[in-house]
């Protein structure tokens, strides 16, 4: 590839990144350099609905983990004698 082809490719990529940043509601100065784009990407705000949904899933998963722990404990208690017998015969 020629140098000009590479320059054109980089300019096109930069323009595409700027378009995507703007689509997320961030103002991009017309003189923004490639080095500026990182900070502009970080300025993209997380959608509140997404954050709320992630928190809901995190709570759900935490509840499920507690439920599974409770089931395991209940099974261990209920079948303690059989678990101990199995462990003794294996060892």
Q: What is the pLDDT along the chain (91 residues), one digit of tens a residue?
A: 688 888 888 999 999 999 999 998 899 999 999 889 988 988 887 766 677 777 888 888 888 888 888 888 888 888 877 766 555 555 5
| Helix ranges, the chain (H) | 3-23, 34-42, 48-78, 80-90
Q: Taking the CB of residue 87, how many other CB atoms lie within 10 A of it?
A: 9
Query: In whole angstroms, what is the distance from residue 85 CA to residue 87 CA?
Result: 5
Give exposure, 24-37, as e/b (b: 16+ Cβ within 10 Å). eebebeeebeeeeb
Threshold 0.95, pTM exceeds: no
């Amino acid at each position: 590839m020629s140098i000009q082809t590479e320059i054109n490719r980089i300019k096109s990529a930069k323009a595409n990144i700027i378009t995507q940043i703007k689509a997320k509601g961030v103002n991009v100065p017309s003189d923004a350099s490639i080095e500026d784009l990182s900070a502009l990407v970080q300025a993209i705000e997380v959608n509140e609905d997404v954050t709320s949904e992630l928190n809901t899933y995190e709570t759900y998963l935490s509840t499920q983990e507690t439920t599974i722990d409770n089931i395991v404990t209940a099974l261990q208690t209920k079948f303690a004698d059989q678990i101990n017998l199995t462990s003794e015969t294996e060892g």
